[in-house]
Amino acid sequence: MEHEGRLKAALADRYTIEREIGRGGMATVYLAQDQKHERQVAVKVLNPELAQSLGAERFLREIKTAANLTHPHILPVFDSGEADCFLFYVMPYVEGESLRSRLAKEKQLPLEDAIRITREIADALASAHRKGVIHRDVKPANIMLEEGHAVLADFGVAHAVAEARDERITRTGTSLGSPAYMSPEQATGEKDLDGRSDQYALGCVLYEMLAGQPPFAGPTGESVVRQHLTAQPPSLNQLRPSIPAGIAAAVTQALSKSPADRYRTTAEMAAALALTTTPVHPRMPWGTRWFVIPAALVGFVILIGVGVWSLLGNRAPRVSRPGQMAQLTFDPGLEVDPAISPDGNWVAYVWWPEWSPDGTKIMFQASGAIYVIPALGGVPPQRVVDRPSSGVTEPSEPSVSGAGSATWSPDGSQISYTVSDTIFLASSDGSGPREVAIDFEPHSLRWSPDGSRLAFVSGNELYVLGTAHLANGAPSAIRVLSLTDGSLVTQTDQERVYQSPLWLPSGDRLLFLSNEGGARDVYEVQLN
């Protein structure tokens, strides 16, 4: 109580501590009232021995890094500091429960819930990894469930502990990471960890959600760590026979002892889980069933008839009355990012598809690569951009995955795409990729009608991709790149949110969305 009383007094000018809501090996969590913003928050206070070992400077540096991570599935950091020898940081108060609490009640989760939670956390980790930040302590207690979605907490703290791992921390008994979810390379004390270490931990979490127990258990942390280094976990299908073979294989790959045998990124892991849970319809003759593209990546792109044309071949066309809705597809949860073919007869969906201008091909994105496939299938997808990179020599993960991050030229001969802050062009067969411009977070690429210029949004990538907690987004700009001389011209100011540039057929004007007037509206600009 004396400890809590000192804490209340130290934070009294900023936060009103109400009660303790959680306690772990590294910190104690309190529910508090943020006096300035009149909201409930969670204040996490490091245990005194650990705080002394870390030191304020190291701790605050790592928390600052974590505070700069912005993603819908990463719990943001509101504040941090030192007060009366207490090291603390402040996060939103999540009214839901932790994944640990849910597992304590249910033991095994429904397959759909387990895969959704894993894919959301994998997406959060992929975003952090692209910025060079490794979590190091992915576990059910650090995954919060709020309104049906998962958010990952505690970025930064584990890395601070790693930097300060010395005799003082050994004396306090503080462990780095959690033995049940610790990768072999982290367990052996390797310093240069990468995102594949977090992937291993997430694989352990998924294993537990499906099997009802972690991959390894034992009487001591040391015995569990030893199993991570040398043993193979029990087969998922033995513990839960209903688990699809593809899911079990994906978990096994994520839990490989060697990082080189795992998925290259957590984004690839998420894509593999999506693929293995996609129902594959049997291929039927035209006129009787929908056509499903057969390929190594089957399930990524599905074509169906749409509009006033018959969905089922020679049946009578559908006729809709005003206000009447008709369901056109029946795949569970896959119908996103639809793209209509140039002739209006077909729609492709899933993984940001885009039709070639002549309607004969479809481009789509998955696992950090760009694929092209004939519109009516018949051959596997061709990987035309394989983990593109600046200079086209050193592999890196594209920073944008979404509509407009890869798009056809008007004549279909080239593809433009972005990698981090760089815009590239490649021929439609993937040959000859070249860097054409460097800008800040370029996205939403749009070719001019004559193919001589590219319009795009510079900045504010996360707002366009739907980050929920950015109320108004960050400033951005509409820019136009000349592909003939490489010049870049800014067409708007850089004080507002701009989205979705669209060329008028004349090629001398652009339409776009902006919050110039407070709410988002459509604007027009005459090109400079």
The residues that are catalytic are 137
Q: What is the Cα–Cα distance from 38 to 47, expressed in whole angstroms?
A: 27
Q: Considering Cα of 448, then 451, then 455, then 461, what sign does the dihedral take?
A: positive
CB contact set of 325 (below 8 Å; sequence gap of 6+): none
- Residue 373, amino acid: I
Contact 415, 432 (CB under 8 A): no
| 92 CB-near residues (< 8 Å, 6+ apart) | 41, 42, 75, 76, 78
Nearest to 226 by CA among 238, 236, 216, 213: 216
Q: What are 111's two structure tokens? A: 């397959």
Cα radius of gyration rounded to whole Å, the chain: 25
The partner residues of 502 in beta bridges, in order of sequence, read 511
371 is written with which tokens? Answer: 């694929």
- Retrieve residue 322's tokens: 């005003």
CA distance 209 to 98: 13
H helical segments located in 110-258: 111-130, 157-163, 167-172, 184-187, 195-211, 221-230, 236-239, 245-254
Question: CA 297, CA 488: separation in Å to the nearest integer?
Answer: 37
Residue 37 and residue 500: Cα distance in Å, rounded? 33
- Distance, in Å, from the CA atom of 181 to the CA atom of 103, rounded to the nearest integer, reads 15
- What CA–CA distances, in Å, run from 128 to 148, 155, 231? 22, 9, 30
Q: Kindly provide the b/e burial profile for residues 395-428, where b requires at least 16 CB atoms within 10 angstroms of the residue's own CB.
A: eebbbbbbbbbbbbbeebebbbbbbbebbbbbeb
**Would you call 461 helix, strand, or coil by DSSP?**
helix
57 residue type, one letter: E
